[in-house]
Amino acid sequence: MQVEVLNGVNLNELGRRDSAVYGGLTISELETRIYEWANELGLRARCRQTNHEGQYVEWCHEALDWAEGIVANPAAWTHYSYAIRDALELFTVPVVEVHLSNVDEREEWRRYSVISDLAAKRIVGKGADGYREALLFLAQRR
């Protein structure tokens, strides 16, 4: 199973952001773990991160042709980007929404997700382990 892992805005600054909220891993360290977990589960993952909304949408469009599962963390775009929502809505494969922090217990504006109704599963507040849970969920759906 081929899985596209899409990380959004400001996640390239992991390791610099508040570790109490986002954990202490850098984006590179997070991606290394994701690749290791995917390999253990017999999955092939590709990780991507961007600070450009249009690029995130383009990557969704590209993944339509090959991905058999999507792990999506649009970060702040989760709360308002209907462009990303429309791009994720095109998938007929499972989409798992992941957030490092527990967005449901943070500021009021972070509690709303424009993509939650598209997600086969939503994982919040489990740090890097949320990505492992997402991969495991997809592996079990093969």
Which residues are annotated as catalytic? Answer: 22, 99
For residue 21, give every residue at least 6 positions away whose Cβ sits within 8 Å of its Cβ, in sequence order, or none. Answer: 100, 101, 106
CA neighbor of 128 nearest in space, from 44, 47, 43 = 47
Question: Strand 95-99 to strand 121-124: parallel, antiparallel, or no bridges (unpaired)?
Answer: parallel
Cα separations in angstroms, 125 against 22, 31, 42, 53: 9, 18, 25, 23
